[in-house]
Amino acid sequence: MDALFGERNISLSSLTDFSKLDVSTKKHLKNVYGALSVSMMAAGIGAGFHLYSGINLGLLAVLGGIGFMLGLGFTANEPKNQITRLGCLVGFAACTGLSMGPLLERVIMIDPSIVTTSFFATCLIFICFSLSALWAEERSFLYLGGTLLSSLTTLAFLSLANIFFGSQLIYQIHLYGGLLIFCGFILYDTQLIIAKHKNGDNDFLWHSVDLFLDFINIFRRLMIILANKENKKSKKKE
């Protein structure tokens, strides 16, 4: 019994064993995930505003998000600018939440539990893939970059082509393929953030944007997948 519990303690402690990361890198990652948490809250507020106010900002929210993103990117990463840059990050995340409002509204009409299920599933996926990237050998997932970007470009062309063809198969490839690709991006972006930090790039606000976009894209696709399945079930019952 002692041996059994001893093994269990070792396995549990290994979950948070990131001894190969130096103190500076750990601090940087804490800042990145802190900024990511703030972004997620801002996105939730933006989505909630759409749902409860009924105001559909549509294109204005997208343009606002682009504007805040440009503001974050072009404002120098200096201590005196941190509040301004944090405001840009929060604004970008809130606009992202606003732009997701119409999708959330449609999904809630089908089944409100889909939103909760998709969110917790995305959190689980994000945590598992992030831990995998942190446990893995340094830079081992950076080689995925070319493949992931090529795959994403291919999906973008397929999506454009499907405007003319209207193929259900292409739509499914874009949906499920995108889900797999953004799971891969969690691995890639996590290790890229570490590599950038070790090369002197300490812009944790900008680094958090990559992970935020990975999370949002996975969350959006999971909602659509579950909503489509629920629709099919409803049609069969009819």
Instruction: Tell me the whole-structure pTM to 2 decimals.
Output: 0.86
Residue 6: what pLDDT?
44
Contact 199, 153 (CB under 8 A): no
The pLDDT of residue 8: 42
Could you tell me the residue ranges of all domains in the chain? 22-237
Specify the pLDDT at position 143: 86
Q: What is the reported pLDDT for 16?
A: 52
The H or E element containing residue 16 is: none
**Residue 94 vs residues 73, 74, 83: alpha-carbon distances, Å:** 17, 19, 16
**Residue 122: per-residue pLDDT:** 96
Residue 225 token pair? 């997948």
Residues of the chain with pLDDT under 50: 1-12
- 202, amino acid identity: N
Cβ partners under 8 Å of residue 18, min gap 6: 26, 134, 135
**How many whole angstroms separate alpha carbon 149 and alpha carbon 144?**
9
**At residue 96, what is the residue type?**
T
Residue 219 in 3-state DSSP? helix
Q: In the 3-class helix/strand/coil scheme, how is 134-168 assigned residue by residue?
A: HHCCCCCCCCHHHHHHHHHHHHHHHHHHHHHHCCH
